[in-house]
Structure 1
Amino acid sequence: MEDRIICFLIDDDDDDQEIFSLALSNIDENIHCITANDGIDALTRLNTEDKFTPNFIFLDLNMVRMNGRECLSEIRKIPRLDSIPVIIYSTSSEQRDIMETKTLGAADYIVKPSSMALLEKRLEQVLRGYHT
């Protein structure tokens, strides 16, 4: 069980959740993807389930109830998650968004790619960068 990786995806788009989960399972069957539909649901889970500490958090920027910037700021206030990389996963490729989220504590930024193969390649790069 030690080599099982838990990724927590916070994204309000069901299709994006499904594609992301499939990409992770294609990369490695030991990667488990847990999803939350928005920042409020994610923070509730992260704040109330003491044992829930994912290896990676992937966060969409453009969500309705709480946007990704607000959620990122709140995640960074949870001490046990200090060392957990938060990777922004967004359709936005705006340099301002990338710089702003890194200032707020994001470890990386993935622009949602147009194909499954590109998504898998980018996720592999991110996962390898933290799990060597």
Structure 2
Amino acid sequence: MKIDLLTVALADDDEDDRLLFEDAINELKIKTKLLLFKNGLELMNYLKKPDAELPQVLFLDLNMPVMDGMRCLDEIRRDSRLKNLSVAIYSTSSSEKDIVETYVRGANIYLTKPSDFKKLQNAIQKILSINWQFHSSNLDKDNFILRI
């Protein structure tokens, strides 16, 4: 099945980070539909709607008010309709504890937010170009962290 338009979601409480992400993704050659959420609760309320268009890739910030990324990840992996979503953790944290915890809880890839726009674009491009079925079946800690 060929996907002409890739649906991508970003949950991030920082408005500047959401705008930067949106600018970066809009400049890529990949045709995307971007869904933006201000916190985990807003994201989960959307995803749990029976008629919600599920994203092919979800970028999930860890440190958000109302509901953080860890809780979202747990809820996604427990929900039979959502459990196979490809989840890219997108966080300012590069702590080993966060990386290990999100890996164990079922995230697909971990990206520390780059401070440089071009690096952000390259990282998004790489993540959106991943063959998720293959990536997830061969997931280990070495290919979990996206190094840019």
TM-score scaled by structure 2? 0.83
**Structure 2 match to 1:94:** 95
Percentage of identical aligned residues: 36
Displacement of 1:49: 4.2
**Structure 1 match to 2:108:** 107
Superposed CA RMSD = 1.7
**Structure 2 match to 1:15:** 16
In structure 2, the residue corresponding to 1:123 is in which secondary structure? Answer: helix
Partners of 1:51 and 1:63 in 2: how far apart?
Answer: 22
**Runs (4+) off by over 4 Å:** none
**Structure 2 match to 1:70:** 71
Alignment length (residue pairs): 132
Displacement of 1:34: 0.7
In structure 2, the residue corresponding to 1:9 is in which secondary structure? Answer: strand
Unmatched 5+ residue regions in structure 2?
A: 135-148
Partners of 1:51 and 1:113 in 2: how far apart?
Answer: 30
Q: How does 1:110-129 map to 2 (within 5 A)?
A: 110-129=111-130
Q: How does 1:47-86 map to 2 (within 5 A)?
A: 47-86=48-87
Partners of 1:51 and 1:40 in 2: how far apart?
Answer: 15
Unmatched 5+ residue regions in structure 1?
A: none
Q: Kindly provide the amino acid, as one letter, of the partner of residue 42 in structure 2.
A: D
User: Deviation digits for residues 47-105 of structure 1, max 9, x if unmatched?
Assistant: 11424211111100001111110111011122222322101000001111011001111
